[in-house]
Amino acid sequence: MDVALQLNVQEPLNPSVSTTMKVQAFTRHILRVGFISVTPDYEYGKDEILFTNTTAKAVQQHLASGEKFDAVFISPDQGQTDIALVKEFAREYALPVVLYSAKFDADCKEIALKRGLDDYFNGNITASSLKRLDFIHKLKTYKNKRGNRPYVAAQVSDVPKIKLWALKRTFDIVISGGMIIALLPIMIITAILIKLDSKGPIFYIAKRAGSGYKIFDFYKFRSMRTGADAELQKLTHMNQYTESAEQSVFYKIKNDPRVTRLGQFLRDTSLDELPQLFNVLKGDMSLVGNRPLPLYEAEKLTKDQIAWRFLAPAGITGLWQVTKRGKDNMSEEERIQLDMEYAMKNSFLYDLKILFSTIPALLQKVQA
């Protein structure tokens, strides 16, 4: 919420009444629950943030008063009952509910996860923090609109339709068609080598969820031994994204034992991706976009706070590949944020920038 105000009001000692701070312009109004200090943590907030202290029981009163709030920050000292109460009231108004502490605390992060809060913030409230709050609000608004209807990957009628503007689609057809013709000899040689290297089909074809949760057949040159998909559950402990297999959204196995000798070379050189040019030519994908996901990953994302990434086209390369390729310490949160950033900012010129950045990323020896 943007409010052009100039405020300079002293905070009262009673934490259940409004607390304000000097605001230069364009205020973000945050409702703070359970913070009983005489003065709010000014040094951790941007100048344009207006804080209002209250109690868990008074949250509904504040929200029903008609005053607009951008988020609810909860103190780690609040009990489980109070947190549940705040979540219930805030859900109706699509407000982000965030556990906040001045300094990072691993226990606080665990509390936020276990009690189903929207996020955990600590330290300075930055422009990035406010952007995150905006996104959570948009997604909660979207969830409120769809109500309790279940997600169906094959038919999600109320997901906004993805429009590939004419220039992008024309560019995809021309470039992918030209690359298929130019790289056809390499693809033929690769197919022969795969057949000689190990038993099984030349191509790996699997269902993927792309833009708007559209499901399509995704093509790659096979780089693993036959039956590799059935072995995935046995290798969840090797997932580089998280130490917790149960909470993981993405799966990426470093030094995957299922990969064949030739398959490792194909992956390192990205030759295994070449058949996706046919996906681009068909219109399933674009040259640049967010990676289409296996259905077991896409299902988890529709139930979390990051379904917005499916509003972008599915692509062969994208923002997270060129910015994080080769970095072992990339977290799920970083990848999701990059997918979200592309979904919000994508344009034809932005696509060109990513394409030109892809070649240096491919030259890195470490596979991401």
What are 60-100's pLDDT values in tens digits? 888 888 888 889 999 988 888 888 888 888 888 888 999 99
pLDDT tier for residue 315 given thresholds of 50, 70 and 90: very high
Q: Does domain 28-146 have CATH number 3.40.50.2300?
A: yes
pLDDT tier for residue 127 given thresholds of 50, 70 and 90: confident
Helices (DSSP H) in 74-150: which residue ranges? 80-92, 106-114, 127-146
Label residue 212 exposed, middle or buried (CB < 10 Å: 0-12, 13-18, 19+): middle
- Give the pairing of strands 97-101 and 215-221: unpaired
Determine the pLDDT at residue 235.
58
Label residue 325 exposed, middle or buried (CB < 10 Å: 0-12, 13-18, 19+): buried
- Give the pairing of strands 215-221 and 203-209: antiparallel
Closest CA to 319 of 331, 336, 303: 336
Q: Which residue has the tokens 């976009």?
A: 289
Q: Where are the domains of the chain?
A: 28-146, 166-362
Q: Is 347 helix (H, G, I), strand (E, B) or coil?
A: coil
pLDDT tier for residue 273 given thresholds of 50, 70 and 90: very high
CB burial of 341-364 (b: ≥16 within 10 Å; e: otherwise) equals: bbbeebeeeebeebbebbeebeee
Q: What are phi and psi of 240, to 5 degrees?
A: -80, -15
Structure token digits, residue 269: 């050189």
For the stretch 203-237, pLDDT in tens is 999 888 888 778 889 999 998 887 666 656 565 55
Closest CA to 33 of 6, 69, 64: 69
